[in-house]
Amino acid sequence: MAETLTAASSHGEHAHGEMSFWSKYVFSTDHKVVGLQYMFTGIFMGLIGGFMAYAFRMQLAFPGVEVPGYGLVSPVDYNALVTNHGTIMIFWVAMPVLVAAFGNYLIPLMVGADDMVFPRLNRLSYQVFLLSAIVLICSFFVEGGGFGGAWTAYPPLSAQSQYNLTPLGSSLWLVAVGLEFVAFLIGGINFITTAMNSRAPGMKAYDIPMIVWMIVVASIMFMASVGPLLAGAVMLFMDQNIGTAFFDPDRGGDPILWQHLFWFFGHPEVYVVLLPATGLVADIITVFSRKKLFAYRTVLYTVFATGVLSFTVWAHHQFVAGIDPRMAHVFTVTTLLISIPIAEMMFVYIATLYGGSITLTTPMLWALAFIAEFLIGGVTGVFLGASGADIYFHDTYFVLAHFHYTFFPIAIIGFYAGISFWFPKMFGKMMNETLGKIHFWGTVIPFNLIFIPLFVLGASGQHRRIYDFSHFPNLSAPWQQDLRILATSALLVMLAFQSVFLVNFVWSLWKGRKAGKNPWKSNTLEWTAESPPPHGNWSELPTVYRGPYEYGVPGRDSDYWPQNEPN
Amino acid sequence: MPISVTNQDYGRIHLVADSRRQPLLASSVMGMLLFVLIEAMLFAGMISAYSIIRSGAMIWPPPDQPRLPIEETAINTAALMLSGLLLFVAHRRFRRDRARARTPLLLSMLLGAVFVVFQGVEWVALIREGFTLTSSSQGSFFYLIVGMHALHAVAALGVLAYVALRLQRGWLASSQLAAAEVFWYFVVGMWPIIYLVVYL
Ligand code: HEM
Ligand SMILES: [Cu+2]
């Protein structure tokens, strides 16, 4: 019965006609607006996080220099900058952009729904998120400055203000992170319920585009892992402000307990942000190689396996924290095991590319760069997973370079891949390809020039979270300082090239070529809506007849086969 | 599920997509189940933290701490279990004859409220005896875990009150009742575990 019901007819009952600016862009419950709000907030926070990296990298390359645009970086500043850089990049950039922005924008469109199942909860999710960002930013300006106890916030440093010197900053940091989690939990409930209950008729489990699956699995993982950390955050907050001693060994507490609570969440979190990125890469490479995704179901089972396994590896972050060496063996084994499904996923993508008719558009370049760079991150992780080797590598720049080779492809390359691919849908205009490619090379080459030197420095024993290496005679050889200067210079180049993206973004919004509904000749449902889709997405909601990756099917005139076409 | 129910569920008309399918699990129930999953992990985190601290302590309970009111709490536990049972009765009756669901629902809420109030009285007595958040790690965990549970109980009672109001007005959808039930059964089901781990 319901099939005859159209979105338009039901919309009639609501006066959608003229909405004020406020109700349309600020307090909207439309999943697309909420998605874009998340995206722009994420970009804004990314600029802050990048600026912080600039400030502390300048200090490392030129100790004691007056950093243009920042000023002198004091030791306390340095700690706060590093801590908040890490926190922002993961919780206020990677999460909102990859999970929330793409999740909100794409899930209803890709499953053929007119909105999320709980639109008002969705709006609340963004509002809580915005509040969390404001609290975090305020924490930089309170007395004592922002929290400087590292993004992992290990007690006793984080718990006692006589150590961290930021009594208010560390509590505000904790509150901000807690609020951010609440925002994503609300969002996650929406993502999962919508993908399960609002799919277009005919869309079976294996017809769901990869990115939707990935965001759903990521949301489930987030929900299942964040509880213990929330508990830990409440306990830490009480230690800071009420005088309890959950993590104080002098009074019957246990600081290692925090590490378990943190990393039980922290490791799955890596996959929470990784999965959406791999999902959108799958969608992009199939479109631009005009080939079916190799082994759709295998990828899906792989993801489920990864999801489960990722809950069993957390103590590989604690090999040198005094855990039982027999336990370390167990976690070594699970950690090495988990590299298998991820490696398999990368091979599946390469197999998808094999023999395809590849077009190197900007989104495709980003997607390919994701695969290449992430592989480096993955391979170097194997060294760290082996507990014996990690005793040497732990807390060096080798670790740092390793996780930047995973996070940068995820958060930055993944975002650029996604935005350059869906920009036409979001804003109805094409982005400029030439500027896009300049920006691509201007980002990816410097990225490697930043972090390859840091691998080398790490292997030579350079520790993380150090303010000034000239205090360490065996870390201040001229060649080491030269590598630091190289990394910082590459960062300056990379940051400068980001302006090309901003120019391209604004210019394309304003003057870009009209995109039409389906500029990439893609199969998935979002491309059957107008660009940009109106409130309610379709005048008549689509029905699905096949999977999302039917490209280059033999015997058909066109090389693609949209999901909603009966034949 | 009829369309009108879906629309009423969220006070929104434009959720057409939902009504185009026949989901196995109504969205409100699925949303609540996911919420309960998160909260279950929250309690799992606190309870395992407690177990770690307790098993690592030289002497447990820490010296000079009053004995916890095990017997009184056992009775209180029974009251909460009964409340869960009554909600189930309300559920059964709601399916056949909506009006008759009212009494067991209200009784269930009443017992839930008794549980919370009694818990509060117990806290006051314990604090008088010098058992506080900061008096020992046992005290810290006791108030953390029991307090978190009380917070959930109060929130769930609020949801039940909302359900009762809608029942009164004749607007209650069965999926809404089911979602509220999920929440309350979680509160009820969590408690015996807490009682076993924290009190005994
Ligand atoms: C824009 C380019 C980036 C550069 C040049 C950069 C550089 C750095 C450096 C040098 C540190 C360590 C400082 C120290 O230990 O003293 C650091 C820490 C960190 N970065 Fe980045 N980073 C960048 C982007 C990112 C991104 C995109 C992410 C994640 C999505 C990220 C996450 C982190 C984290 C989690 C830490 C650890 C913070 C801590 O020790 O508490 N970074 N970054
Ligand atoms: Cu890990």
Tell me which of B35, B46, B50 to substitute to probe the interface with A (most A C-beta atoms closer than 10 Å).
Answer: B46
* Closest residue CA from atom 33 of ligand 1: A86
Give chain A's domains with CATH numbers.
27-248+255-528 (1.20.210.10)
* Closest residue CA from atom 21 of ligand 1: A86
| Ligand 1 neighbourhood includes A85 CB (under 6 angstroms) | yes
Tell me which of B3, B8, B18, B20 to substitute to probe the interface with A (most A C-beta atoms closer than 10 Å).
Answer: B20
Beta bridge partners of A522: none
- The DSSP letter of residue A93 is I
| Ligand 1 neighbourhood includes A491 CB (under 6 angstroms) | yes
Q: Nearest-CA distance from B100 to chain A in Å?
A: 30
**What are the tokens at A283?**
């969608």
Give A562 Cα–ligand 2 centroid separation in angstroms: 39
**What are the tokens at A289?**
């190689």
Mean pLDDT of B16-36: 80
> Smallest Cα–Cα separation from B17: which of A63, A401, A434, A202?
A202
| Ligand 1 neighbourhood includes A89 CB (under 6 angstroms) | yes
| Element containing residue A214 per DSSP (H, E) | helix A210-241
> Smallest Cα–Cα separation from A274: which of A448, A98, A125, A438?
A98
**What are the tokens at A230?**
């929330």
> Which of B10, B38, B140 is the closest to A246 by Cβ?
B140
A177 in reach of chain B (CB within 8 A): no
DSSP assignment of A256-316 = HHHHHHHHHHHHHHHHHHHHHHHHHHHHHHHHHHT-PPTTHHHHHHHHHHHHHHGGG-GGG
CA A436 to each of CA A50, A360, A505, B69: distance values in angstroms, whole numbers, following the listed order? 20, 12, 9, 69
Cis-peptide, bond into residue A119, ω within 30° of zero? no
- H-assigned helices in A357-465: 362-385, 387-393, 397-407, 414-427, 433-459
Cβ contact, residue pair B15, A244, below 8 Å = no
| Ligand 1 neighbourhood includes A412 CB (under 6 angstroms) | yes
Cβ contact, residue pair B45, A232, below 8 Å = yes
B165 in reach of chain A (CB within 8 A): no
Best residue for ligand 1 mutational test, from A47, A82, A492 (most atoms within 8 Å of Cβ): A82
Burial A297-310, CB ≥16 within 10 A → b, else e: eebbebbeebbebb
- Side-chain-side CA neighbours of A544 within 13 Å: the count stands at 29
Give chain B's domains with CATH numbers.
26-199 (1.20.120.80)
Residues in chain A where the model's pLDDT stays below 70: 1-19
> Which of B17, B49, B148 is the closest to A261 by Cβ?
B49
Quick one: residue A295, left, alpha or beta (phi over 0 = left, psi -120 to 50 = alpha)? left
* 3-state DSSP of A441-457: HHHHHHHHHHHHHHHHH
> Smallest Cα–Cα separation from A488: which of A453, A463, A438?
A453
Q: Give the pLDDT of residue A155.
A: 95
Can you give the pTM of this predicted structure?
A: 0.93
- For residue A560, report the phi and psi dihedrals to the nearest 5 degrees: -135, 165
- For residue A68, report the phi and psi dihedrals to the nearest 5 degrees: -55, 130
> Which of B16, B56, B144 is the closest to A541 by Cβ?
B16
Q: Give the pLDDT of residue A19.
A: 67
| Ligand 1 neighbourhood includes A493 CB (under 6 angstroms) | no
Q: Give the pLDDT of residue A14.
A: 42
| Ligand 1 neighbourhood includes A53 CB (under 6 angstroms) | yes
- H-assigned helices in chain B: 3-10, 16-20, 27-56, 70-96, 102-128, 137-169, 174-194
Q: What share of chain A is helix, strand, coil (3-state, %, to 5)?
A: 70, 0, 30
* Closest residue CA from atom 7 of ligand 1: A53
* Amino acid at the residue A382: V
Q: Give the pLDDT of residue A21.
A: 78
Q: Give the pLDDT of residue A26.
A: 81
Give residues whose Cβ lies within 5 Å of ion ligand 2: A 267
The Cα B50–Cα B35 span in angstroms is: 23
The Cα B172–Cα A200 span in angstroms is: 27
Task: Evaluate if residue B128 carries a pLDDT over 90.
Answer: yes
| Ligand 1 neighbourhood includes A90 CB (under 6 angstroms) | yes
The Cα A132–Cα A100 span in angstroms is: 15
Q: Nearest-CA distance from A68 to chain B in Å?
A: 45
| Cβ-based contacts of A234 with chain B (< 8 Å) | 144, 148
Cβ contact, residue pair A227, B57, below 8 Å = no
Q: Give the pLDDT of residue B3.
A: 35
| Element containing residue A66 per DSSP (H, E) | strand A66-67
| Ligand 1 neighbourhood includes A484 CB (under 6 angstroms) | no
Q: Bigger pLDDT: B83 or A9?
A: B83
Give B41 Cα–ligand 1 centroid separation in angstroms: 29
CA A497 to each of CA A52, A184, A373, A502, B183: distance values in angstroms, whole numbers, following the listed order? 17, 31, 19, 9, 51
* Amino acid at the residue A549: Y
B3 in reach of chain A (CB within 8 A): yes
Beta bridge partners of A463: A396
pLDDT band for position B20 (cuts 50, 70, 90): low
Cβ contact, residue pair A11, B13, below 8 Å = yes
Tell me whether strands A71-72 and A66-67 are parallel, antiparallel or unpaired: antiparallel
Ligand nearest to the CA of A339: 2
Beta bridge partners of A66: A72
> Smallest Cα–Cα separation from A148: which of A244, A52, A46?
A52
Beta bridge partners of A72: A66
Q: Give the pLDDT of residue B19.
A: 52
The Cα A115–Cα A109 span in angstroms is: 8
What ipTM was reported for this prediction? 0.92
Q: Give the pLDDT of residue A16.
A: 46
Which residue is listed with tokens 């939707």? Answer: A212
CA A460 to each of CA A385, A397, A482: distance values in angstroms, whole numbers, following the listed order? 19, 9, 14
A244 in reach of chain B (CB within 8 A): yes
Q: Nearest-CA distance from B37 to chain A in Å?
A: 7
Cβ contact, residue pair B140, A245, below 8 Å = yes
| Ligand 1 neighbourhood includes A50 CB (under 6 angstroms) | yes
> Smallest Cα–Cα separation from B142: which of A155, A237, A246?
A246
The Cα A328–Cα A330 span in angstroms is: 5
DSSP 3-state of A463? strand
Strands (E) in A68-178, as ranges, are 71-72
